Amino acid sequence: MPSKVCFVNARVDRFDYPCSVEGRLERILKKIDLKKYFSEDELVPIKMHLGNPGAHHTIRPNFVRLVVDQLKKIKAKPFVTDSVRLRAYEYLDAANRTGYNAMSLDAPVIIADGIFGLDSVKVKAGRILKELSIPSAIHDATSMMVLSHVKGHIDTGLAGAIKNLAMGCVTAVPRGCDWKEGGRGKMHFQMDEVMTWHEDLCTFCGICVRTCPLDAISIKGKSFLVDDKKCWRCGRCVRVCPEKALTVPQSVKRFSVSLAEAAKTVLSTFEKKKVFYVNFLFDIQPECDCMAVSDTPVVQDQGILLSDDVVAIDQASLDLIAKAQGLPQSKAAELKRKRYADILGALHEKDSRVQIKAAEKMGLGKSDYRLVEA
C-alpha cells in the first residue's frame, strides 16, 4: 500500500483564514490525530534548522508556532531544537534573530547537543559511517517532529527530511573526541580525506575565513592555514570559495548513501511510527540554510507536505518541484531548459534521487505514495 502524504497547496482561492495555508495546515494537523504519534506529557523535539546570519529563507516562525500549538493541544511537551551548526551560543542568537525563541514559539528553543555541543550518545551506524554521535536531546527523546525547509544542496541536489535527519541529528564533535567520531564531518569529508588548498587559484579574498564558524582558517600574507584541531569538517569553506581553490575529493554517490545511512541510524533510536515529518516547500532556493546568504527561489512556492514516511515525503517534494517551472531572475534561469525532472539536482549536477533510493533500500519508507490534498 502506498504511504500517505498530506498536502497543503500554497495557492489560495478565497480570502478567508480557513482557506489560508496556515488555516489548512491547522486543519490537517488536527485531522492527522497527533495522538497516534505523540503522548500526553511526552517531551517532543521539534527538529529544524534554526537559521544562519545572512540566510533569511528558513521556515516561517508562525508555521512552527502552529505545530507547537497542536502538540500542546494533545498535552505533549514540545521543544524546538537543532544540533550545533554554528557554535551553540551564536546559533541561539541566530535563531532568536530569525524569530525562533520561547516568546514567539511558546516552546523552549534549545541546542540538542548542549551549549558546548558536546552532549551526545554514540550509536552503531552502518557500513560507511560505522558509528555516529547523536545529540542527547534527540537520542533520549521517544518521539520527534521533523520540520524541514526543502531547498537545494551542493552535494545532494535536494535537501529535505532525509538530510535534516542525517546531517541535523548528528553531533559535529563529541566530548573528548575529534570530528572523526562525530558524524557530520564523516559525511562531508568521508573519513580521512583532507581539504586541499590550491595556491594558484586562491585570490586571498577571505570569504572562507569569514564563513568558517570556528575561526579555523587564517590567512597571513600569502600563507593559508587551517587549524586541524578546530576544524570539524563542515565543508562550508569549500562550498563558498568563488575560485574553487579549496577542494575535497568527494564521491557524490557515497555522500548521498551516507545520508541515508545516517538517517537510518538516527531513526534506530526511536520506535516505529514515532517520528513525523513536515516539509515546507517555500522559498525553494538553490543552497542550504547553512550558507551565509539566501538566493531567490528557483521554483514557485508549492506548499506543505506532511507524512510519517521520510522516503515518501521527500519523493513527493521532488515530484512537486519537478512539475514546477524554473523561475526567471533565479539560478534556474541559468539552466537551458525550463522544466527538469530534478531541477535542484540539475543546478548542482547531482542526482537527488540517490539518497531517496538508498533510504528506501535501507527500509526507511516507500517512494510509492498517495497525495491527499487538504
Q: Which residues bind ligand SF4 (CB under 6 A)?
A: 202-208, 211-212, 214, 216-217, 226, 231-237, 241, 243, 245-246
The amino acid sitting at 335 is L
Q: 196 vs 251, which CB is nearer to ligand SF4?
A: 196
Closest CA to 286 of 346, 243, 337, 354: 346
SS3 content of the chain, % helix, strand, coil (to 5): 35, 20, 45
Residue 240 Cβ vs ligand SF4, minimum distance, rounded to whole Å = 6
Neighbours of 1 (CB within 10 A): 6
Residue 214 Cβ vs ligand SF4, minimum distance, rounded to whole Å = 5
Closest CA to 226 of 202, 201, 196, 247: 196
82: left (phi over 0), alpha (psi -120 to 50) or beta: beta
What residues have CB less than 8 Å from 113, skipping those under 6 apart? Answer: 83, 84, 88, 119, 120, 135, 136, 137, 171
Residue 275 Cβ vs ligand SF4, minimum distance, rounded to whole Å = 28
Residue 250 Cβ vs ligand SF4, minimum distance, rounded to whole Å = 13
Q: How far apart are CA 161 and CA 281, in angstroms?
A: 11
Residue 313 Cβ vs ligand SF4, minimum distance, rounded to whole Å = 29
Q: How many Cα neighbours within 13 Å face the side chain of 24?
A: 21
Residue 241 Cβ vs ligand SF4, minimum distance, rounded to whole Å = 3
Residue 229 Cβ vs ligand SF4, minimum distance, rounded to whole Å = 11
Q: How far apart are CA 271 and CA 264, in angstroms?
A: 12
Strand 303-307 to 3-9 pairing: antiparallel
The C-alpha cell 570556528 sits at 214
Q: Grid coordinates standing for 337?
A: 531548459
Q: Is 24 helix (H, G, I), strand (E, B) or coil?
A: helix
Q: 221 vs 328, which CB is nearer to ligand SF4?
A: 221
Q: 12 vs 191, which CB is nearer to ligand SF4?
A: 191
- Give 191-243 as a DSSP string: TT---EE-TTT-----HHHHH-TT--EEEETTEEEE-TTT-----HHHHH-TT
Residue 201 Cβ vs ligand SF4, minimum distance, rounded to whole Å = 7
In degrees, to the nearest 5, what angle opens at C-alpha 105 toward C-alphas 292 and 91? Answer: 30
